[in-house]
């Protein structure tokens, strides 16, 4: 992104995948960019509309099984997100949105549904629903503190060699194999709602750094940090 230009955020399919408050991730990115003096423009793309290719950061959220299937079909047909990621845009995909990014995920009867193949992951149905608070230690290579959030999903996700786990679960289920989420290039997938970026603003700053190509200065995070510490204290087992 050139230094004098606007940061373009694209919120994909609010009419299908906006069940769990993940739109808060968009608000956090907007706010943290503006506090650094970076002008921001946000586009909400409904599922009847084409996904623009010119965005800098794409966001997609969680939702129920049927809208998830519809979203996968429309994104595959549209192709705009593929082209955007192909030219180096960043992305945060949450829960249903995360599963869609893979090759396959479980539909409402557990049937395999084709994903859009942007991440080397495959999801199916677990034996029970994973519901509750989650704490996970982030991959140290990312320089992001411990993640917190809540999860609410049936899906389990297997990571292929083309992605790295975003984190290792301390409390909660995540992918279902001791890891939580994944990343490859500038694309992050996670099961964390919360919204995730309000719970862990370091993750928001990672996306902003990737998108702007610049190191961001620190900002006053006292309220974010208070929330993070409160959630950690409430979720971690007492020793």
Smallest gap from residue 218 Cβ to ligand GLN (A): 32
Is residue 129 a known part of a binding site? yes
Q: Which is nearer to ligand GLN, 33 or 121 (CB)?
A: 121
Q: Which is nearer to ligand GLN, 8 or 193 (CB)?
A: 193
Smallest gap from residue 96 Cβ to ligand GLN (A): 3
**Catalytic residue status for 193:** yes
Question: Are the C-beta atoms of 123 and 156 separated by less than 8 Å?
Answer: yes
Which residues are 182's β-sheet partners? 165, 189
Smallest gap from residue 3 Cβ to ligand GLN (A): 36
CA distances from 16 to 97, 109, 165 (A): 10, 19, 27
- Terminal-residue alpha carbon distance, the chain: 46
Q: Which residue is nearest to ligand GLN (CB)?
A: 62
Q: Which is nearer to ligand GLN, 24 or 52 (CB)?
A: 24
Which member of 44, 82, 95, 182 is catalytic?
95
Secondary structure letter of residue 173 according to DSSP = -
How far out from the chain centre does Cα 25 lie?
Answer: 8
Where on the chain is the footprint of ligand GLN (CB under 6 A)? 20, 62-65, 68, 95-96, 152-155
How many Å apart are CA 39 and CA 33, to the nearest integer? 7
Helix (H, G, I), strand (E, B) or coil at 152: strand
- Please state the residue numbers annotated as binding site for substrate: 129
Give the residue numbers of the binding site.
129
Which active-site residues does the annotation give? 95, 193
């Amino acid at each position: 992104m050139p230094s004098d230009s606007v940061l373009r955020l694209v919120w994909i399919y609010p009419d299908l995948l906006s069940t769990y408050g993940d739109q808060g991730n968009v608000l956090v990115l907007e706010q943290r960019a503006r506090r650094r003096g970076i002008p921001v423009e946000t586009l909400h793309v409904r599922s009847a509309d084409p996904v623009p290719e010119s965005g800098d950061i794409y966001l997609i959220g969680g939702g129920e099984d049927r809208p998830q299937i519809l979203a996968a079909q429309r994104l595959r047909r549209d192709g705009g997100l593929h082209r955007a990621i192909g030219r180096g845009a960043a992305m945060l995909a949450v829960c249903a949105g995360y599963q869609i990014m893979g090759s396959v995920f479980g539909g409402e009867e557990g049937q395999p549904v084709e994903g859009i193949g942007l991440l080397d992951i495959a999801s199916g149905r677990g034996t029970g629903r994973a519901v509750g608070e989650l704490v996970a230690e982030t991959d140290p290579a990312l320089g992001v503190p411990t993640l917190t959030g809540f999860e609410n999903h049936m899906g389990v996700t297997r990571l292929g060699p083309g992605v790295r786990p975003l984190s290792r679960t301390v409390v909660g289920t995540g992918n279902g194999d001791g890891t939580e989420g994944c990343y490859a290039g500038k694309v992050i997938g996670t099961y964390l709602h919360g919204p995730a970026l309000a719970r862990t603003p370091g993750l928001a700053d990672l996306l902003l750094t990737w998108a702007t190509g610049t190191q961001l200065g620190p900002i006053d995070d006292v309220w974010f940090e208070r929330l993070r510490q409160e959630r950690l204290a409430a979720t971690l087992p007492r020793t």
